[in-house]
Amino acid sequence: MAAPITTPGQKIVPTIWNERILKRDFQVVLGKMLQSEQRDFSETEEPYLRSANVQWTGVDVSDVKTMWFSPMEKRELLLLRGDLVVNEGGDVGRCAIWNGEIEKCYFQNAVNRVRARKRASTRFLYYWLYNIKLAGFIDAIVSRTTIAHLTAEKLEALPWPDTPPQEQQRIAAYLDASCAAIDAAVAAKRRQIETLDALRKSIITRALTLGLKPDVRTRPSGQDWLGEIPLHWSPLYLKRLLREPLTYGLNEAAELEDRNLPRYLRITDFDDDGTLRNDTFRSLPWEVAREALLQPDDVLFARSGATVGKTFMFRDYTGEACFAGYLIRARTLPWKLDAQFLYLFTKTLAYDAWKNLIFTQATIQNISAAKYNYLVIPVPPLPEQHAIVAYVWEKDGEFRRLTAQIERQIATLTAYRKSLIHECVTGQRRVTEADIGRWGISAHNDRGMT
């Protein structure tokens, strides 16, 4: 009877094969410690891989650093096609096959190189490590002081299935082809989402800058980034449309999580679709929050940081909330500007163009209240604003439902990919020559097997 591979806590990784220690079939070598200066005339500056270069999707050589290597180090640490590079630090256990992306390349001590001995396949090992990483096995056994490390010794001691060499090759070839097909399908669906998002933004922009009538007469808005607007619309500065000045929020640490107190809203608390996150709740005492309490239909603008220009509309929230100091609150004059019209305008391509114009005029990305005051809003008559808002919300909902459907399809494909890998590398799904023959591939040219 096959011996089960067990994880910490006596959890069983099911496999039809016996357990075997990884070092019996692979040579594991840790890379070189960083060396920024030349110590000997014989040393040369060479490219090397860091943990950031090692991704599940392959080795990313878009940003490869260099350091000094001696002749001996170059002999010992040269990467060969078919080597498996495995992260020692960072996202420990993440790995990729080296396919000779750079003619001569080496690796630092945040990366382990795994090279197959005479009976093993690094391609099969790649899928095995992916499987036990997802199962939490690697994270459970890594050394931990302040950060996790998958040392060469830990990696060598990992269990892996004693699978016949020819079967390793078949499984790796089958998974290569199957995963490539799944990945291509996922990529195609992600492109569908990008296309839908671009179309959605185009429809929103058309409605918020030109209205709903296809043959509307237009005139110059006076702003290059905004272009033409309907003849009967008025281009007005935001400050002319507010019932009180733009207001900055509070600068507080917000260490409380008391849901009986006002919620302290920060830009990181809401997603791009305008929904509040449930996992980031922070609160402030009433005596502090009182100065910056929000009202329904308040629009919040981010003024700095990576999210500068991002907006959120406070609506449909049960309870009280206040807002942080790097947000700016806008309260519209309801008889001049529907707050929802303002919020939706900030989702247009025109608003993006305005932001980019502001950024090119500044040394840092920052949009103050003074700059937001002079954001030009194309203002239609109020009944037309209401009609546009209703139309845009309806279209936005349609696009989001389509996007959610595609995202569910992506999730299904991703789950199937993980399940397929697990079943194949544990022997629950047997891979035959006929299986790989259906892909029109061969399992007998495995660069990862010697």
* Residue range 310-364, pLDDT digits in tens: 999 998 888 899 999 999 999 999 999 999 999 999 999 999 999 999 887 666 7
What local confidence, expressed as pLDDT, does residue 450 receive? 46
Buried b / exposed e along 88-98 (16+ C-beta atoms within 10 A) = bbbbbbbbbbb
Kindly indicate the confidence band of residue 1, based on its pLDDT and cuts at 50, 70 and 90.
Answer: very low
Residues 405 and 340: beta-carbon distance below 8 Å? no
Task: For residue 167, tell me if it sits in a domain.
Answer: no
CA 348, CA 205: separation in Å to the nearest integer? 5
Q: How far apart are CA 371 and CA 215, in angstroms?
A: 33
Residue 131 lies in a domain: yes
Q: Which long-range contacts (CB under 8 A, 24 or more apart) does 220-224 make?
A: 221/376, 221/378, 222/376, 223/354, 223/376
Domains: count for the chain: 2
Task: Find residue 220's DSSP bridge partners.
Answer: 228
Confidence class of residue 32 from pLDDT cuts 50, 70 and 90?
A: very high
- φ/ψ region of 7 (left if φ > 0, alpha if ψ in -120 to 50, else beta) reads beta
- DSSP, res 233: -
Do 39 and 133 fall into the same domain? Answer: yes
Residue 94 and residue 29 in one domain: yes
In a domain, 402, yes or no: no
Rounded Cα distance between 306 and 187, Å, is 26
pLDDT digits (tens, 9 = 90+) for 70-123: 999 999 999 999 999 999 988 999 999 999 999 999 999 999 999 998 889 999
Helix (H) or strand (E) run with residue 111 in it:
strand 111-116
Residue 147 shares a structural domain with residue 10:
yes
Which secondary-structure segment (H or E) carries 173?
Answer: helix 165-210
Domain-embedded: residue 447: no
Look at residue 5 in the predicted model and tell me its pLDDT.
Answer: 54
Which one has a higher pLDDT value, 223 or 90?
A: 223
Give the length of the chain. 450
* pTM, full prediction: 0.84
For residues 136 and 251, state if they share a domain.
no
Q: Are residues 155 and 218 in the same domain?
A: no
- The arithmetic mean of pLDDT across residues 27-40, rounded, is 95
* Per-residue confidence (pLDDT) for residue 234, from 0 to 100: 97
Q: Which of 379, 403, 432 is the last residue of a domain?
A: 379
Q: List, as one string, the DSSP characters of 157-169.
A: T-EEE---HHHHH
| 22 and 156 together in one domain | yes
Last residue of a domain, one of 142, 161, 180: 161
- Whose structure tokens read 């100091």? 325
Residue 267 CA to chain centroid, in angstroms? Answer: 18
- Measured between alpha carbons, how far is residue 10 from residues 5, 135, 141, 306 in Å? 9, 13, 13, 45
Query: 262: buried, middle or exposed (CB in 10 Å: 19+, 13-18, 0-12)?
Result: buried
Cβ 5 vs Cβ 12: under 8 Å: yes
Residue 327 lies in a domain: yes
Averaged over 54-82, what is the pLDDT? 97
What was the pLDDT predicted at 9? 44
- Structure tokens that stand for 153 in this block: 């010794």
Give the residue-averaged pLDDT of 259-264.
94
- Across the range 188-210, mean pLDDT stands at 97
Q: Is 368 helix (H, G, I), strand (E, B) or coil?
A: coil
Residues 41 and 152 in one domain: yes
- 439 vs 49 pLDDT, higher one: 49
The residue to which tokens 């992916």 are assigned: 130
147's CB contacts (< 8 A; 6+ apart) are: 89
**% of residues, the chain, pLDDT over 90:** 77
Q: Is residue 22 part of a domain?
A: yes
CATH of residue 80: 3.90.220.20
Domain boundary, last residue among 161, 183, 201: 161
d(CA 440, CA 178): 12
Contact yes or no for 433/108 (Cβ under 8 A): no
Q: Does 168 reside within a domain? A: no
On whether both 219 and 122 belong to a single domain, the answer is no
Mean pLDDT, range 16-44, rounded to an integer: 93
Mean pLDDT of the 357-375 span: 85
- Whether 360 is covered by a domain: the verdict is yes
Alpha-carbon distances, residue 46 vs 74, 75, 82, 217, 218 (angstroms)? 9, 12, 20, 64, 61
Please give the Cα distance from 322 to 292 (Å, whole number).
5
- At 378-397, the pLDDT tens digits run 999 999 999 999 999 999 99
Measured CA distances, 148 to 8, 93, 140, 152, 440 (Å): 16, 10, 10, 13, 42
Q: Determine the 3-state secondary structure of 435 from DSSP.
A: helix
Mean pLDDT over 374-380 rounds to: 98
On whether both 51 and 156 belong to a single domain, the answer is yes
Name the pLDDT band for 7 (thresholds 50, 70, 90). Answer: very low
Range of the domain at 25: 5-161
Q: Which secondary structure element, helix H or strand E, spans residue 209, and what is its range?
A: helix 165-210
Is 60 exceeded by the pLDDT of residue 449?
no
Decide if 246 contacts 369 (C-beta within 8 A): yes
